[in-house]
Structures are given as C-alpha cells and as structure tokens.
Amino acid sequence: MNTRVAIVTGGSRGIGRAIAERLAADGQAVAVVYATNRAEADDTVRTITDKGGAAIAVQADVADEAAVTALFDTVEAEFGGVDVVVNSAGLMILGNVADFDLADLDRLHRTNIRGTFVVDQQAARRVRGGGAIVNLSTSVTRLALPTYAAYAASKGAVDAISMILARELRGRDITVNAVAPGPTATALFLDGKDQETVDRMARANPMERLGMPDDIAEVVSFLAGPGRWVNGQTLYANGGVV
C-alpha cells in the first residue's frame, strides 16, 4: 500500500479524535486507539469511513508494553506498516503540590510519561522511513499556572523524550516533535472549571478565545505530512498566550 498509516492514541475523543479525523481527511489510514470506551472509538471510525476513509479501532493500555506491541502488530497486519504515530492519550489531574494525592501523581505519570515512552519505543523500532512521531505536550510547562505542577511535570518529560528521540533516530528520516496546546475546548480541559475561569483563560491569548481541537489537529497534520524540516521541537499551539 502507498497510503500512509497513522496510529493515534487517545483517538476516540477530544483532541485525539480531531487528529484522527484530520489525518484520515489527509488520506492516511488511521488506527484509533482507545483505553476503555469502545463506543466512542467506533463512532470515530464510523465518521472516518462514512467519508471514504480507512480506519480501525484498537484497544490498548498505552503504558502496557505487551498491549502496545500487539497494537503495532495489529496495525501492520491490517494496513501493511506504520508511518505516523501520534501520542494523544493523557490524563490531567489538578491540585496544589502541598495537598496532591501521590496515588494521582502515579496515575498521571503512568499514562503521560510511561505511556508516551512505551508507545514511542515501539514507534522508534517500527515506523517506516519518511515517517513522523508526534507527542502531545502542554503550554502549561511555560505558563506555570497554580495547581498544574503534577500535570506540567509529566508533560515536561514528554518534551524531553521528544527532543532526545529525534536525535536518536538520526539517519532514519523520521521526525519527532511535540505539540503543546494551550487552553483547548475539550472535556478534559473544561471539566471542573466554572464559566468565569473558562472566560478568563480564553482571554489570556491575543486571539481571545479557547483553542479548538481542530486547531491542534491542523498543527499535527503539518508535522505528520509536509513538515519534514521541523524536527526535535516543541511547537506551542496556543493562540499566542505567554
């Protein structure tokens, strides 16, 4: 097959779903990876296939190396190879450092750090030449907002993994980048926030609005396709918030 093939973790909802649908619209066959919600994953696949695209839903715990190995095996068997891997699966748990539940810290790090590392490990072994690996980070690593310490720390690790992996893949013609969204209108971001907080964060950037999942998907589409000269970078997709 000449069609490029993409794996999108967390691809059943929010930013991940927007990315899966955008890559499919770009002509890529897409594996929509979900953790527990098969119905949402199937709905994403149906949306893609109804528009003439190719997609499958695959369940996997991104932090489980056996499950991730099986995921790549499934995609290679179905589509013939892997060209693009997008790590969009993630957790966000907020709280002050002084009061933060360490069990929640472990959950955050298991998905956001170990999950990214495990998926990137298989991607580094199996993505074909000319391919791309894109990890989802966050602009909060620079904004330093109170209550975001645990989440930002986990995404700072994602930035480091991305930069180093890009250099480890020297000579393979595979790019590795991170995309760092700002406040984006997803259930993950909006959950637990009152309208005043949402409005304040929307006004924090010069565009004076929240990002939309499609805004982030557009950046990932560039990195997963024509953006071959961008490598080892974290791109801040946040409307200009500083």
Q: State the catalytic residues.
A: 151
Q: How many CA atoms lie within 13 A of 21 on its CB side?
A: 20
Q: Tokens in use for 140?
A: 């909060």
Q: In what order do the strands lie in the sheet with 5-9?
A: 55-59, 29-34, 5-9, 82-87, 127-136, 175-181, 234-237
Dihedral sign computed on CA atoms, order 56, 57, 63, 64: negative
Amino acid at 88: S
Q: Which helix (H) or strand (E) holds 160?
A: helix 149-168
Q: Tokens in use for 122?
A: 């298989």
Q: How far is Cα of residue 175 from the mean position of the Cα atoms in its chain?
A: 15
| Alpha helix ranges (H) inside 38-138 | 38-50, 65-79, 102-109, 116-126
61 DSSP 8-state letter: -
Q: How far apart are CA 160 and CA 183, in angstroms?
A: 21
Q: Tokens in use for 176?
A: 């590795």
